[in-house]
């Protein structure tokens, strides 16, 4: 399924548009189903979004008691580590909004067994969400076309029978845990954030018929699918 591209003049405008979209999506989900399930991403643009959501008027526009935060992927580090997506989200957003602690579902990656973490997190997702899809799933985009921790040439790309899986990323020499394609593709909305001139080359590859097999190209969301880009990333 082809993404609907939302191209903003610069990163600041992108983040502002994303915050407005996040609020509207959260309010609609809560009004319709009484809860908002969202999977957060790591990266600089998502961080900017979280920081924006932590400010007025955005903070007051969401009933945070009905929001459940999950994480699309995580490095296998403690939650206090600078590489932790949870730590970034906590400092940027979680510590600044009135969300109940029990509604924040981090991956327990301080343990050494990545596959055990993946299995435990899948159980948490099933218990909390009871089979419901995410209302919104956020993704960044790496220069190699990876999304979440679905990296090129890793076995995680072909995992379809579990909600989450573990993998070792050789170029970073690190273990990670990631949600799998079936979870991502089932979400009611998927947003990929693409910002900055450094991403222009991978955007060109993704949209070229000559380049195939990139992880982001394997996305096939069943519902709404958006790219939020700035003009620099779009090559404009």
CATH of the domain at 34: 3.40.50.1360
| Residue 209 confidence (pLDDT) above 90 | no
pLDDT averaged over every residue in the chain: 96
Q: Say what the pTM is.
A: 0.96
Least confident of 3-7, 168-172, 226-230: 168-172
Mean pLDDT (whole number) for 142-151: 96
Is residue 142 one of the residues assigned to a domain? Answer: yes
Q: How many domains does the chain have?
A: 1
- Structural element, H or E, at residue 7: strand 4-8
Is residue 209 one of the residues assigned to a domain? Answer: yes
Least confident of 82-91, 105-114, 148-157: 105-114
Residue 71 domain boundaries: 4-163+190-218
Is residue 225 one of the residues assigned to a domain? Answer: no
Per DSSP, helices labelled H in the chain are 11-33, 44-53, 85-92, 114-129, 181-186, 200-206
**What pLDDT, on the 0 to 100 scale, is given for residue 1?**
61
Pair type for strands 174-179 and 164-169: antiparallel
Is residue 233 one of the residues assigned to a domain? Answer: no
Is residue 49 one of the residues assigned to a domain? Answer: yes
Is residue 82 one of the residues assigned to a domain? Answer: yes
Is residue 15 one of the residues assigned to a domain? Answer: yes
Is residue 169 one of the residues assigned to a domain? Answer: no
Least confident of 56-60, 160-164, 208-212: 208-212
User: What is each CA distance from 195 to 3, 7, 153, 215, in whole angstroms?
Assistant: 16, 10, 24, 18
pLDDT digits (tens, 9 = 90+) for 40-95: 999 999 999 999 999 999 999 999 999 999 999 999 999 999 999 999 999 999 99
């Amino acid at each position: 399924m082809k993404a609907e591209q939302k191209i903003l003049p610069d990163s600041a405008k992108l983040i502002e548009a994303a915050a407005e979209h996040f609020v509207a999506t959260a309010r609609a989900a809560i009004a319709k189903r009484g809860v908002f399930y969202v999977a957060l991403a790591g990266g600089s643009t998502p961080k900017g979004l979280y920081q924006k959501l932590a400010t007025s008027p955005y903070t007051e526009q969401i009933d945070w008691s009905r929001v459940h935060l999950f994480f699309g992927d995580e490095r296998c580090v403690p939650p206090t580590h600078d590489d932790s997506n949870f730590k970034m989200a906590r400092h940027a957003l979680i510590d600044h909004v009135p969300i109940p602690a029990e509604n924040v579902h981090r991956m327990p990656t301080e343990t050494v067994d990545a596959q055990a973490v993946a299995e435990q997190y899948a159980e948490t997702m099933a218990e909390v969400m009871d089979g419901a899809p995410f209302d919104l799933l956020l993704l960044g985009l790496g220069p190699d076309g990876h999304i979440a921790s679905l990296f090129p040439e890793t076995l995680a790309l072909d995992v379809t029978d579990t909600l989450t899986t573990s993998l070792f990323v050789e170029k970073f020499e690190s273990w990670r845990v990631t949600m799998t394609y079936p979870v991502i593709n089932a979400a009611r909305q998927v947003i990929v954030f693409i910002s900055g001139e450094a991403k222009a080359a991978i955007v060109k590859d993704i949209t070229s018929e000559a380049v195939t097999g990139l992880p982001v190209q394997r996305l096939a969301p069943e519902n709404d699918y958006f790219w939020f880009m700035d003009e620099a990333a779009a090559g404009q």
